[in-house]
Structure 1
Amino acid sequence: MRVTQSIITRTLLQSLNSTKESLREKQTSIATGKRIEKPSSDPINFSKADKFRRKIEQNEGFLQNVESSLGWVENTMSIIDSIYEKILRVKEIAVQGADNTLDEEGRRILSEEVDSIINDIVSLGNSSYLGKYVFAGTSTKGEKPFTYDGYSVVYNGNGEKLFRRVGENYSVVINVSGEQLRATNVFTVLTDLKNALDNNNPEEVADLIARIDQVGDNLLNLNSSVGSIQKQLELIKNRLETANMNLASYLSSAEDVDLAEAITQYNVEETAFKAALSITSNAIQLNLFSFLE
């Protein structure tokens, strides 16, 4: 086959366009900091980068669940702490009420304070977090978990567990139900104390002091169990954050450009492009002169 001047020119133009496209891709890489513009640029690393990116997004979703769960748990612990502080005052009241030198009127005043504390604890038991009742089990909306009629406290929620998904195949229970709070006997002992004070019965009040201490211990144990959930969530949070840091590093290795190397390559190709442009220009002129002759 005879190689004509036009074939040479066409070949040079094709090479020139190819070099121009390569320069454009390198310009884009330098501007964006990414060396993979499309799947065809690097199919293997594009696939790796896509997997890393989707895993990071999934972990971010789990981290959001962990953060909201930590808020729920910390709020629960704060409420139980507040109830425990109320119980410390209740014990002081019981000690005063058991004193034989205290008259009936004095016990009536103490009974009114106990009644007020019961209302306070019921109010704490009806606390909500982000619009959901904390101690209602899965009945987090609607009727308040606890009601008090002046004689007894009624629980209106359930004992179901609230789960939060914090891993691909892992969920954590984050709640304390009202049944668990009621199991500390906080409401039973307080209403018994109120009745004993109303009945002006110092012996019965004295008998309740040990039960009040037990309620305090029960509340501390309950809060300790919630603290264990908090520690578990914090560990999961740290693991997810560490995993995402590693994944971000892998993602960077798969798709990020080495800026210094990219600029060097661009400069080399740009020089070659200018030289090829000059050669092609001369070839086109020569081909034109040959045609005119």
Structure 2
Amino acid sequence: MTTRTARRALRIAAAGAGAMALLTLSACSASSSPPSSSSSGDTAARTSASPKLSGTVTVFAAASLKESFEKLGEEFERRHPGTEVTFNFGGSDSLAAGITNGAPADVFAAASPKTMSLVTDQDGTAGKPVTFVRNQLEIATLPGNPDGIASLKDLTESGVKVVLCDKEVPCGAAAQKALDAAGVDLEPVSYEQDVKGALTKVELKEADAALVYRTDVRAAGDKVDGVDFPESADAVNDYPIALLKDAPNSTAAKAFIELVRSAEGREVLTGAGFLTP
């Protein structure tokens, strides 16, 4: 091989090596480059689709929902750190009056469609109420049922002190339906403003019996006994829930309602004795 030919061969080999080096660098650069704009956009879309919840959710709820909703409130706070669920439990009619008079709240869960309508008829909700559970009455008696109460008629026996919910609240209206169905005329020793108030009278032994929801009898444990009666089937209450108009924290409030209506929510509520719609 001549000197000129040798030099030419070396130049060709060097050029080939340089090209290979450039190809290697290009491949490495491509593999370590940041995600494409479309990939980043997908991530951003997923983030925006599930915004982080925060702040306080204020729930006005029928007294009979107390134990179940407090449990669901704790679960909601666990799932969404930075949130707090506060409750105002009471008679549905009183809660409705507070809402229509401007009490700040995010969610209303009533013990009857009638009391919910006190709010919705004044354009008080941003969403249509949805029935999420039902409830049925029982007779709550002193532990051991010392008076031997087995029916609504037994509540009229001399010396038996009976407490009812006020007729304006759902448990009182349901009790009156059941009494009418049984043909029983009952004079209670007192009317209470909500179902917990009626039950407490028996727990404190200030009354011998009360017509309350079976969920409340179950929640009371061994403080009372429960007696079923057939006329309770004529007085089953539907419980609607709704997002309130101008809710201060509507995003988190919607998420709380979703939890209540979820499979886990139903499990908590049916476990407390509520019926599915």
Q: TM-score, normalized by length of structure 2?
A: 0.29
Larger Cα Rg: Structure 1 or Structure 2? 1
Between Structure 1 and Structure 2, the one with more helix by share is 1
Between Structure 1 and Structure 2, the one with more strand by share is 2
Greater relative contact order: 1 or 2 (C-alpha under 8 angstroms, separation 6 or more)?
1
Q: TM-score, normalized by length of structure 1?
A: 0.28
